[in-house]
Protein backbone atom coordinates (compact mmCIF):
# COMPACT_ATOMS: atom_id res chain seq x y z
CA UNK A 1 0.00 0.00 0.00
CA UNK A 2 1.96 3.00 1.21
CA UNK A 3 5.24 1.44 0.18
CA UNK A 4 4.04 1.26 -3.43
CA UNK A 5 4.09 5.01 -3.88
CA UNK A 6 6.27 6.58 -1.20
CA UNK A 7 6.24 9.96 -2.92
CA UNK A 8 2.51 10.34 -3.20
CA UNK A 9 1.63 10.54 0.50
CA UNK A 10 -2.13 10.76 0.93
CA UNK A 11 -3.21 14.18 2.18
CA UNK A 12 -5.59 12.66 4.71
CA UNK A 13 -3.09 10.27 6.22
CA UNK A 14 -4.24 9.49 9.74
CA UNK A 15 -2.37 11.24 12.51
CA UNK A 16 -0.54 9.05 15.01
CA UNK A 17 -0.32 10.34 18.55
CA UNK A 18 3.18 10.40 19.94
CA UNK A 19 2.04 8.26 22.87
CA UNK A 20 1.37 5.48 20.35
CA UNK A 21 4.36 5.89 18.10
CA UNK A 22 6.89 3.95 20.13
CA UNK A 23 5.01 0.76 19.27
CA UNK A 24 7.70 -1.44 17.60
CA UNK A 25 5.33 -2.65 14.88
CA UNK A 26 5.18 0.86 13.42
CA UNK A 27 8.88 0.90 12.56
CA UNK A 28 9.31 1.30 8.81
CA UNK A 29 5.89 2.78 8.16
CA UNK A 30 4.94 6.26 6.99
CA UNK A 31 3.48 8.33 9.79
CA UNK A 32 1.80 11.69 10.22
CA UNK A 33 2.51 13.52 13.47
CA UNK A 34 1.40 16.88 14.81
CA UNK A 35 2.54 18.82 17.82
CA UNK A 36 4.53 21.63 19.36
CA UNK A 37 8.26 22.02 18.93
CA UNK A 38 10.18 21.64 22.18
CA UNK A 39 13.64 22.26 20.70
CA UNK A 40 15.45 22.40 17.39
CA UNK A 41 19.17 21.84 17.06
CA UNK A 42 21.65 20.47 14.54
CA UNK A 43 24.12 21.56 11.90
CA UNK A 44 24.06 22.56 8.24
CA UNK A 45 23.43 19.01 7.06
CA UNK A 46 20.75 17.87 9.42
CA UNK A 47 18.34 19.41 11.93
CA UNK A 48 16.68 17.62 14.85
CA UNK A 49 13.34 18.68 16.27
CA UNK A 50 11.98 17.36 19.56
CA UNK A 51 8.23 17.24 19.03
CA UNK A 52 5.61 16.89 21.75
CA UNK A 53 1.84 16.64 21.29
CA UNK A 54 0.75 16.42 24.92
CA UNK A 55 -0.22 12.75 24.71
CA UNK A 56 2.92 11.68 26.59
CA UNK A 57 5.89 13.18 28.35
CA UNK A 58 8.12 11.59 25.71
CA UNK A 59 9.21 13.71 22.76
CA UNK A 60 9.48 12.35 19.26
CA UNK A 61 12.65 13.18 17.36
CA UNK A 62 12.07 14.47 13.83
CA UNK A 63 15.05 14.49 11.51
CA UNK A 64 15.19 17.07 8.74
CA UNK A 65 17.74 16.29 6.08
CA UNK A 66 18.87 19.67 4.72
CA UNK A 67 19.29 18.22 1.27
CA UNK A 68 15.49 17.87 1.23
CA UNK A 69 14.53 20.96 3.28
CA UNK A 70 15.92 24.43 2.83
CA UNK A 71 17.22 26.23 5.90
CA UNK A 72 14.66 28.87 5.11
CA UNK A 73 11.73 26.48 5.38
CA UNK A 74 12.92 25.51 8.87
CA UNK A 75 13.59 29.01 10.14
CA UNK A 76 10.16 29.40 11.74
CA UNK A 77 10.33 25.95 13.32
CA UNK A 78 11.32 27.30 16.72
CA UNK A 79 10.51 26.31 20.29
CA UNK A 80 6.77 26.66 20.82
CA UNK A 81 5.76 26.62 17.16
CA UNK A 82 3.27 24.02 15.96
CA UNK A 83 3.90 21.73 13.02
CA UNK A 84 2.61 18.77 11.05
CA UNK A 85 5.19 16.35 9.73
CA UNK A 86 4.92 13.23 7.64
CA UNK A 87 7.75 10.83 7.07
CA UNK A 88 9.11 7.40 7.71
CA UNK A 89 9.45 6.08 11.24
CA UNK A 90 12.83 4.45 11.65
CA UNK A 91 14.89 3.02 14.47
CA UNK A 92 17.03 5.68 16.03
CA UNK A 93 20.79 5.57 16.29
CA UNK A 94 20.83 8.34 18.85
CA UNK A 95 20.81 7.81 22.58
CA UNK A 96 17.60 8.34 24.54
CA UNK A 97 15.02 7.42 21.93
CA UNK A 98 13.99 4.19 20.27
CA UNK A 99 12.75 5.68 17.02
CA UNK A 100 12.61 8.88 15.02
CA UNK A 101 10.82 10.26 11.99
CA UNK A 102 12.72 11.09 8.83
CA UNK A 103 10.74 14.07 7.66
CA UNK A 104 9.34 14.10 4.15
CA UNK A 105 6.76 16.88 4.40
CA UNK A 106 6.48 19.81 6.75
CA UNK A 107 3.45 22.01 7.39
CA UNK A 108 3.79 24.93 9.77
CA UNK A 109 0.60 25.61 11.72
CA UNK A 110 1.71 28.48 13.91
CA UNK A 111 4.90 30.30 14.72
CA UNK A 112 6.10 31.27 18.21
CA UNK A 113 8.35 34.31 18.07
CA UNK A 114 11.51 33.45 20.07
CA UNK A 115 11.68 37.07 21.26
CA UNK A 116 8.34 36.88 23.01
CA UNK A 117 7.51 33.20 23.62
CA UNK A 118 7.77 32.92 27.43
CA UNK A 119 8.81 29.26 27.51
CA UNK A 120 11.71 29.73 25.16
CA UNK A 121 14.25 28.24 27.55
CA UNK A 122 14.13 24.99 29.47
CA UNK A 123 14.37 24.75 33.22
CA UNK A 124 12.15 27.61 34.34
CA UNK A 125 11.36 27.65 38.04
CA UNK A 126 7.92 26.59 39.22
CA UNK A 127 7.46 30.11 40.61
CA UNK A 128 8.09 31.60 37.18
CA UNK A 129 5.71 29.14 35.58
CA UNK A 130 2.96 30.07 38.06
CA UNK A 131 3.08 33.54 36.52
CA UNK A 132 2.62 31.90 33.12
CA UNK A 133 -0.15 29.54 34.17
CA UNK A 134 -1.86 29.98 30.81
CA UNK A 135 1.09 28.40 28.98
CA UNK A 136 2.67 26.14 31.57
CA UNK A 137 0.66 23.06 30.43
CA UNK A 138 3.02 23.11 27.43
CA UNK A 139 5.98 22.23 29.63
CA UNK A 140 7.01 18.64 30.28
CA UNK A 141 6.46 19.08 34.01
CA UNK A 142 2.91 20.39 33.80
CA UNK A 143 2.02 17.99 31.03
CA UNK A 144 2.96 15.16 33.38
CA UNK A 145 1.10 16.63 36.33
CA UNK A 146 -2.07 17.21 34.32
CA UNK A 147 -2.05 13.73 32.82
CA UNK A 148 -1.60 12.22 36.28
CA UNK A 149 -4.41 14.42 37.60
CA UNK A 150 -6.70 13.20 34.82
CA UNK A 151 -5.82 9.55 35.45
CA UNK A 152 -6.49 9.96 39.17
CA UNK A 153 -9.90 11.48 38.48
CA UNK A 154 -10.73 8.46 36.34
CA UNK A 155 -9.40 6.08 39.01
CA UNK A 156 -11.67 7.68 41.59
CA UNK A 157 -14.79 7.13 39.52
CA UNK A 158 -13.64 3.62 38.64
CA UNK A 159 -13.04 2.70 42.27
CA UNK A 160 -16.44 3.83 43.48
CA UNK A 161 -18.41 2.67 40.46
CA UNK A 162 -16.90 -0.81 40.72
CA UNK A 163 -17.93 -0.91 44.37
CA UNK A 164 -21.53 -0.01 43.52
CA UNK A 165 -21.43 3.56 44.80
CA UNK A 166 -23.57 6.13 43.01
CA UNK A 167 -22.18 9.45 41.81
CA UNK A 168 -24.26 12.20 43.40
CA UNK A 169 -24.06 15.83 42.33
CA UNK A 170 -24.54 18.18 45.25
CA UNK A 171 -25.23 21.89 44.77
CA UNK A 172 -22.47 24.44 44.39
CA UNK A 173 -24.72 27.29 45.49
CA UNK A 174 -26.00 26.78 48.99
CA UNK A 175 -28.11 28.68 51.49
CA UNK A 176 -26.72 26.98 54.57
CA UNK A 177 -23.55 28.37 56.08
CA UNK A 178 -23.34 25.90 58.92
CA UNK A 179 -20.87 23.35 57.61
CA UNK A 180 -18.27 25.27 59.53
CA UNK A 181 -15.51 24.00 57.27
CA UNK A 182 -14.36 27.44 56.23
CA UNK A 183 -15.31 30.98 55.30
CA UNK A 184 -17.63 31.21 52.30
CA UNK A 185 -17.82 33.23 49.10
CA UNK A 186 -21.12 35.02 48.93
CA UNK A 187 -23.23 34.62 45.79
CA UNK A 188 -25.43 37.59 45.00
CA UNK A 189 -26.92 39.57 42.15
CA UNK A 190 -27.63 42.58 44.38
CA UNK A 191 -25.94 45.78 43.21
CA UNK A 192 -23.07 46.18 45.67
CA UNK A 193 -22.97 49.95 45.26
CA UNK A 194 -26.68 50.35 45.91
CA UNK A 195 -27.88 47.62 48.26
CA UNK A 196 -31.59 47.37 49.03
CA UNK A 197 -32.14 47.87 52.77
CA UNK A 198 -34.84 46.80 55.20
CA UNK A 199 -36.38 49.32 57.60
CA UNK A 200 -33.79 48.58 60.27
CA UNK A 201 -30.95 49.20 57.83
CA UNK A 202 -29.89 45.60 57.12
CA UNK A 203 -29.39 44.27 53.59
CA UNK A 204 -32.75 43.15 52.22
CA UNK A 205 -31.96 39.69 50.93
CA UNK A 206 -35.57 39.09 49.96
CA UNK A 207 -34.62 41.16 46.91
CA UNK A 208 -31.64 38.93 46.11
CA UNK A 209 -31.73 36.29 43.39
CA UNK A 210 -32.71 33.40 45.67
CA UNK A 211 -34.64 35.55 48.12
CA UNK A 212 -32.10 34.78 50.84
CA UNK A 213 -28.33 34.96 51.37
CA UNK A 214 -26.44 32.30 49.42
CA UNK A 215 -22.83 31.26 49.03
CA UNK A 216 -20.58 28.81 47.22
CA UNK A 217 -20.42 25.46 48.98
CA UNK A 218 -17.52 24.49 51.27
CA UNK A 219 -18.55 20.82 51.21
CA UNK A 220 -21.22 18.60 49.70
CA UNK A 221 -21.43 16.41 52.75
CA UNK A 222 -24.76 17.42 54.22
CA UNK A 223 -26.51 16.83 50.91
CA UNK A 224 -24.36 13.71 50.47
CA UNK A 225 -25.97 12.32 53.61
CA UNK A 226 -29.39 12.77 52.00
CA UNK A 227 -28.13 10.65 49.10
CA UNK A 228 -26.55 7.97 51.30
CA UNK A 229 -29.68 7.57 53.40
CA UNK A 230 -31.59 6.85 50.20
CA UNK A 231 -29.17 5.15 47.78
CA UNK A 232 -26.97 3.47 50.40
CA UNK A 233 -23.52 4.41 49.14
CA UNK A 234 -22.78 7.57 47.21
CA UNK A 235 -19.81 9.74 46.38
CA UNK A 236 -19.50 13.30 45.25
CA UNK A 237 -16.63 14.64 43.19
CA UNK A 238 -16.82 18.34 42.52
CA UNK A 239 -15.44 21.77 43.24
CA UNK A 240 -15.60 23.36 46.68
CA UNK A 241 -14.80 26.90 47.67
CA UNK A 242 -13.24 28.28 50.83
CA UNK A 243 -12.59 31.95 51.36
CA UNK A 244 -10.07 31.29 54.10
CA UNK A 245 -7.15 33.64 53.80
CA UNK A 246 -4.60 30.92 54.34
CA UNK A 247 -1.69 31.37 52.00
CA UNK A 248 -0.14 27.95 52.48
CA UNK A 249 1.29 25.42 50.02
CA UNK A 250 -1.65 23.11 50.89
CA UNK A 251 -4.70 25.39 50.58
CA UNK A 252 -6.61 26.64 47.55
CA UNK A 253 -9.65 28.90 47.49
CA UNK A 254 -11.22 26.62 44.88
CA UNK A 255 -10.41 22.94 45.11
CA UNK A 256 -11.97 19.60 44.23
CA UNK A 257 -13.22 17.25 46.83
CA UNK A 258 -14.33 13.63 46.79
CA UNK A 259 -16.89 12.90 49.49
CA UNK A 260 -18.16 9.34 49.83
CA UNK A 261 -21.02 8.84 52.27
CA UNK A 262 -22.21 5.39 53.27
CA UNK A 263 -25.24 4.10 55.11
CA UNK A 264 -24.57 1.26 57.57
CA UNK A 265 -20.83 2.01 57.86
CA UNK A 266 -19.31 2.56 61.28
CA UNK A 267 -16.02 4.35 61.88
CA UNK A 268 -13.97 1.19 61.28
CA UNK A 269 -15.70 0.51 57.95
CA UNK A 270 -15.03 4.16 57.12
CA UNK A 271 -11.30 3.85 57.87
CA UNK A 272 -11.06 0.62 55.88
CA UNK A 273 -12.69 2.29 52.89
CA UNK A 274 -10.47 5.38 53.11
CA UNK A 275 -7.33 3.27 53.22
CA UNK A 276 -8.39 1.01 50.38
CA UNK A 277 -9.44 4.04 48.33
CA UNK A 278 -6.19 6.00 48.52
CA UNK A 279 -4.15 2.88 47.93
CA UNK A 280 -6.22 2.10 44.86
CA UNK A 281 -5.64 5.58 43.44
CA UNK A 282 -1.90 5.42 44.05
CA UNK A 283 -1.58 2.00 42.50
CA UNK A 284 -3.67 3.08 39.50
CA UNK A 285 -1.31 6.00 38.91
CA UNK A 286 1.78 3.81 39.26
CA UNK A 287 0.40 1.40 36.70
CA UNK A 288 -0.97 3.93 34.23
CA UNK A 289 1.27 6.99 34.55
CA UNK A 290 4.66 5.36 34.86
CA UNK A 291 6.49 7.67 32.41
CA UNK A 292 5.04 10.81 33.96
CA UNK A 293 5.78 9.71 37.52
CA UNK A 294 9.31 8.73 36.58
CA UNK A 295 9.85 12.07 34.86
CA UNK A 296 8.72 13.98 37.95
CA UNK A 297 10.78 11.72 40.20
CA UNK A 298 13.89 12.36 38.14
CA UNK A 299 13.44 16.14 38.12
CA UNK A 300 11.87 16.95 41.47
CA UNK A 301 11.71 14.13 43.95
CA UNK A 302 14.10 11.19 43.78
CA UNK A 303 12.21 9.22 46.43
CA UNK A 304 8.80 9.58 44.81
CA UNK A 305 8.30 6.04 43.50
CA UNK A 306 9.71 4.55 46.67
CA UNK A 307 7.34 6.66 48.80
CA UNK A 308 4.31 5.70 46.72
CA UNK A 309 5.17 2.03 46.91
CA UNK A 310 5.82 2.29 50.62
CA UNK A 311 2.34 3.68 51.23
CA UNK A 312 0.84 0.93 49.06
CA UNK A 313 2.53 -1.88 50.91
CA UNK A 314 2.04 -0.80 54.50
CA UNK A 315 -0.98 -0.75 56.76
CA UNK A 316 -1.87 2.71 57.98
CA UNK A 317 -1.31 3.11 61.72
CA UNK A 318 -4.56 3.74 63.60
CA UNK A 319 -4.62 5.48 66.95
CA UNK A 320 -6.69 7.97 68.89
CA UNK A 321 -6.09 11.69 69.06
CA UNK A 322 -5.45 11.27 72.79
CA UNK A 323 -2.69 8.72 72.12
CA UNK A 324 -1.30 10.98 69.40
CA UNK A 325 -1.12 13.95 71.77
CA UNK A 326 0.69 11.82 74.35
CA UNK A 327 3.30 10.81 71.78
CA UNK A 328 3.77 14.44 70.72
CA UNK A 329 4.15 15.62 74.29
CA UNK A 330 6.61 12.87 75.13
CA UNK A 331 8.63 13.55 71.98
CA UNK A 332 10.60 16.36 73.58
CA UNK A 333 10.42 18.14 70.23
CA UNK A 334 10.05 21.92 70.15
CA UNK A 335 7.00 22.72 68.03
CA UNK A 336 6.08 26.18 66.85
CA UNK A 337 2.57 25.59 68.23
CA UNK A 338 2.50 23.82 71.61
CA UNK A 339 0.38 20.66 71.84
CA UNK A 340 -2.12 20.06 74.57
CA UNK A 341 -5.19 17.86 74.74
CA UNK A 342 -8.02 19.86 73.23
CA UNK A 343 -6.03 21.88 70.70
CA UNK A 344 -6.30 21.23 66.99
CA UNK A 345 -3.22 19.55 65.57
CA UNK A 346 -1.09 21.68 63.27
CA UNK A 347 0.57 20.37 60.17
CA UNK A 348 3.92 20.18 62.03
CA UNK A 349 2.36 17.83 64.61
CA UNK A 350 0.70 15.66 61.98
CA UNK A 351 3.93 15.39 60.05
CA UNK A 352 5.93 14.54 63.17
CA UNK A 353 3.66 11.57 63.83
CA UNK A 354 3.78 10.39 60.23
CA UNK A 355 7.33 11.18 59.18
CA UNK A 356 9.32 10.85 62.37
CA UNK A 357 7.45 8.74 64.87
CA UNK A 358 5.58 6.05 62.91
CA UNK A 359 7.15 6.59 59.50
CA UNK A 360 3.85 5.44 58.01
CA UNK A 361 0.51 7.02 57.11
CA UNK A 362 -1.58 7.49 60.23
CA UNK A 363 -5.31 7.56 60.89
CA UNK A 364 -6.14 9.55 64.01
CA UNK A 365 -9.58 9.04 65.55
CA UNK A 366 -11.72 10.24 68.43
CA UNK A 367 -10.91 13.93 68.49
CA UNK A 368 -12.18 16.34 71.15
CA UNK A 369 -15.72 17.33 70.26
CA UNK A 370 -14.95 21.06 70.60
CA UNK A 371 -12.58 21.10 67.64
CA UNK A 372 -14.75 19.03 65.29
CA UNK A 373 -18.01 19.60 63.42
CA UNK A 374 -21.44 19.27 65.01
CA UNK A 375 -22.52 16.26 62.94
CA UNK A 376 -19.89 13.83 64.22
CA UNK A 377 -21.03 10.92 66.37
CA UNK A 378 -20.55 11.64 70.04
CA UNK A 379 -18.63 9.06 72.05
CA UNK A 380 -19.73 7.66 75.43
CA UNK A 381 -17.02 9.65 77.23
CA UNK A 382 -18.85 12.91 76.50
CA UNK A 383 -15.55 14.54 75.45
CA UNK A 384 -14.71 13.06 72.06
CA UNK A 385 -16.35 12.39 68.72
CA UNK A 386 -15.88 9.60 66.21
CA UNK A 387 -13.79 11.61 63.80
CA UNK A 388 -10.99 10.26 61.65
CA UNK A 389 -8.24 12.18 59.87
CA UNK A 390 -5.87 10.42 57.51
CA UNK A 391 -2.38 11.93 57.71
CA UNK A 392 0.21 11.48 54.99
CA UNK A 393 3.94 12.05 54.69
CA UNK A 394 4.79 15.47 53.20
CA UNK A 395 1.09 16.44 53.09
CA UNK A 396 -0.32 16.20 56.60
CA UNK A 397 -4.10 15.85 56.49
CA UNK A 398 -5.28 14.32 53.22
CA UNK A 399 -8.68 13.05 54.41
CA UNK A 400 -11.06 14.24 57.11
CA UNK A 401 -14.12 12.20 58.00
CA UNK A 402 -16.26 10.67 60.71
CA UNK A 403 -19.07 8.42 61.69
CA UNK A 404 -22.09 10.72 61.76
CA UNK A 405 -24.36 11.30 64.75
CA UNK A 406 -27.44 9.26 63.85
CA UNK A 407 -29.44 10.03 66.99
CA UNK A 408 -31.94 12.84 66.47
CA UNK A 409 -31.94 14.11 70.06
CA UNK A 410 -28.16 14.14 70.43
CA UNK A 411 -27.72 15.88 67.10
CA UNK A 412 -30.37 18.46 67.91
CA UNK A 413 -28.80 19.13 71.32
CA UNK A 414 -25.43 19.76 69.68
CA UNK A 415 -26.95 22.05 67.04
CA UNK A 416 -28.66 24.09 69.76
CA UNK A 417 -25.54 24.15 71.91
CA UNK A 418 -23.60 25.66 69.01
CA UNK A 419 -26.38 28.10 68.16
CA UNK A 420 -26.73 26.86 64.57
CA UNK A 421 -29.98 28.34 63.17
CA UNK A 422 -32.78 25.83 62.57
CA UNK A 423 -33.71 27.50 59.30
CA UNK A 424 -30.51 25.98 57.91
CA UNK A 425 -30.90 22.61 59.55
CA UNK A 426 -34.47 21.32 59.43
CA UNK A 427 -33.99 19.39 56.20
CA UNK A 428 -30.78 17.79 57.46
CA UNK A 429 -32.44 16.77 60.72
CA UNK A 430 -35.15 15.01 58.72
CA UNK A 431 -32.61 12.27 57.88
CA UNK A 432 -32.57 11.50 61.61
CA UNK A 433 -36.32 11.92 62.06
CA UNK A 434 -37.28 9.47 59.34
CA UNK A 435 -35.54 6.12 59.14
CA UNK A 436 -32.22 7.19 60.62
CA UNK A 437 -29.33 4.74 60.21
CA UNK A 438 -25.73 4.53 61.35
CA UNK A 439 -23.63 6.07 58.60
CA UNK A 440 -20.21 7.49 57.87
CA UNK A 441 -18.26 9.40 55.28
CA UNK A 442 -15.17 11.39 54.56
CA UNK A 443 -13.72 14.10 52.33
CA UNK A 444 -10.53 13.72 50.33
CA UNK A 445 -8.99 16.89 48.95
CA UNK A 446 -8.26 15.93 45.33
CA UNK A 447 -5.31 18.31 44.99
CA UNK A 448 -3.74 16.92 48.16
CA UNK A 449 -3.87 13.48 46.56
CA UNK A 450 -2.38 14.85 43.32
CA UNK A 451 0.35 16.55 45.38
CA UNK A 452 1.22 13.25 46.98
CA UNK A 453 1.25 11.25 43.76
CA UNK A 454 3.25 13.81 41.77
CA UNK A 455 5.69 14.65 44.56
CA UNK A 456 5.05 18.35 44.02
CA UNK A 457 5.23 20.53 47.10
CA UNK A 458 2.95 23.45 46.26
CA UNK A 459 -0.76 22.87 45.69
CA UNK A 460 -0.77 25.70 43.11
CA UNK A 461 1.20 23.40 40.84
CA UNK A 462 -1.29 20.52 40.73
CA UNK A 463 -4.42 22.31 39.52
CA UNK A 464 -4.50 23.86 36.03
CA UNK A 465 -5.78 27.25 37.12
CA UNK A 466 -5.16 27.87 40.81
CA UNK A 467 -7.41 30.18 42.78
CA UNK A 468 -5.72 31.63 45.85
CA UNK A 469 -6.01 34.97 47.64
CA UNK A 470 -5.21 37.72 45.12
CA UNK A 471 -4.86 35.29 42.27
CA UNK A 472 -7.58 34.64 39.70
CA UNK A 473 -5.85 35.83 36.53
CA UNK A 474 -6.02 32.79 34.28
- Residues that bind ligand ATP in the complex, under the rule CB under 6 A: 181-182, 242, 251-252, 255, 257, 397-400, 443-445, 447-448
Comparing CB distances to ligand ATP, the nearer of 106 and 252 is 252
Q: Is 357 left (phi over 0), alpha (psi -120 to 50) or beta?
A: alpha
- Minimum distance from CB of 195 to Mn ion (Å)? 35
By a kind-dependent CB cut-off of 5 to 8 A, residue 151 interacts, out of ligand ATP, Mn ion, none, with none
Q: Binding partner of residue 85 among ligand ATP, Mn ion, none, CB under 5 to 8 Å per kind?
A: none
In the list ligand ATP, Mn ion, none, the entry touching 393 (Cβ below 5 to 8 angstroms by class) is none
In 313-369, where does DSSP find H-type helix? 321-330, 347-351
- Give the Cα separation of 421 and 44 in Å (integer): 77
The residue range among 36-44, 48-56, 375-383, 396-404 that interacts with Mn ion, by the rule CB under 5 A, is 396-404
DSSP assignments along 49-108, one per residue: EEEE-SS-S--EEEEEETTTS-HHHHTT--TT-EEEEEEEEEE--STT-SEEEEEEEEEE
Is the separation of the CB atoms in 446 and 151 below 8 Å? no
Which does residue 450 bind out of Mn ion, ligand ATP, none, counting CB within 5 to 8 angstroms by kind?
A: none
Number of amino acids touching Mn ion (CB under 5 A): 1
**Minimum distance of ligand ATP from residue 347's CB (angstroms):** 7
CB of 372 to Mn ion, least distance (A): 8
Residue number with CB closer to ligand ATP (225 or 447): 447
Distance in Å, CB of 39 to ligand ATP, minimum:
35
- Taking Cα atoms as reference points, which of 241, 276, 248, 279 lies closest to residue 453? 279
The interface partner of residue 50, options being ligand ATP, Mn ion, none and the CB cut-off 5 to 8 Å by kind, is none
Which of the ranges 3-11, 113-121, 335-343, 392-400 carries the binding residues for Mn ion, by CB under 5 A? Answer: 392-400
Find out whether 312 and 468 touch, Cβ atoms under 8 Å. Answer: no
**Cβ pair 138, 119 in contact under 8 A:** yes
Per-residue CA distances from 356 to 3, 278, 328, 393 (Å) = 63, 21, 11, 9
User: Integer distance in angstroms from the first to the last C-alpha of the chain?
Assistant: 48
Task: Supply the minimum distance, in Å, between the C-beta of residue 373 and ligand ATP.
Answer: 8
What's the chain's Rg over C-alpha atoms?
A: 27
The item of ligand ATP, Mn ion, none sharing an interface with residue 307, based on CB under 5 to 8 Å by kind, is none
Query: What is the CB-side half-sphere exposure of residue 367 using CA atoms within 13 A?
Result: 20
Q: Which C-beta is closer to ligand ATP: that of 196 or that of 464? A: 464
Cα distance between residue 351 and residue 64, in whole Å: 53
Please tell me whether residue 400 binds Mn ion under the rule CB under 5 A: yes
Rounded to the nearest whole angstrom, what is the least distance from the CB of residue 244 to ligand ATP in the complex?
Answer: 6
Residues in touch with Mn ion (CB under 5 A) = 400
Amino acid sequence: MRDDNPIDIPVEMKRTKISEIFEPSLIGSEVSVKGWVRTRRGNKNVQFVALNDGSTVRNLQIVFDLSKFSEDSLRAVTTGSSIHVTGRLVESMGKGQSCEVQAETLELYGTADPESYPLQKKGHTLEFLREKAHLRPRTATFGSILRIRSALAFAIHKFFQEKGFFYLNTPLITASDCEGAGAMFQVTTLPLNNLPKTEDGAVDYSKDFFGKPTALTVSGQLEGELGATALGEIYTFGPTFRAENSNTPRHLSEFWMIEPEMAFYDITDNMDLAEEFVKYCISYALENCRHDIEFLAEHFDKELVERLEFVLHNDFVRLTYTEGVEILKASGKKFEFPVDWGTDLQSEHERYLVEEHFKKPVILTDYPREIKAFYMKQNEDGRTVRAMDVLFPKIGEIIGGSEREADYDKLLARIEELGIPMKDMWWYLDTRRFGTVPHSGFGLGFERLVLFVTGMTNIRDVIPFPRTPNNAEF
